[in-house]
Amino acid sequence: MDLNVGDTIKLKKPHPCGSSEWEILRAGMDFRLKCKGCGHQIMVTRKLVEKNIKQAKKPLDN
């Protein structure tokens, strides 16, 4: 799966704040994700992210 820093992903389960969208801050064997709703940051394994992803959006280039 082609996921890069700056992409926004939507996961199957929402964060407790209610948002399902996350911004990728670091990509590799692990991902650092930042919640678009409350700004909380988490580290998650690539396997878990790829299993639970619903949708991926690339950032708009101006």
Q: Give 23-56 pLDDT, tens digit per residue.
A: 999 999 999 999 999 999 999 999 999 999 999 9
Phi, psi of 48 (to 5 degrees): -70, -40
CB proximity list for 14: less than 8 A, separation 6 or greater: 20
Per-residue confidence (pLDDT) for residue 2, from 0 to 100: 85
Per-residue confidence (pLDDT) for residue 25, from 0 to 100: 96
Per-residue confidence (pLDDT) for residue 37, from 0 to 100: 94
Per-residue confidence (pLDDT) for residue 61, from 0 to 100: 64
Confidence at 16, pLDDT banded by 50, 70, 90? very high
Interatomic CA distance for residues 42 and 22, integer angstroms: 10
Contact 55, 12 (CB under 8 A): no
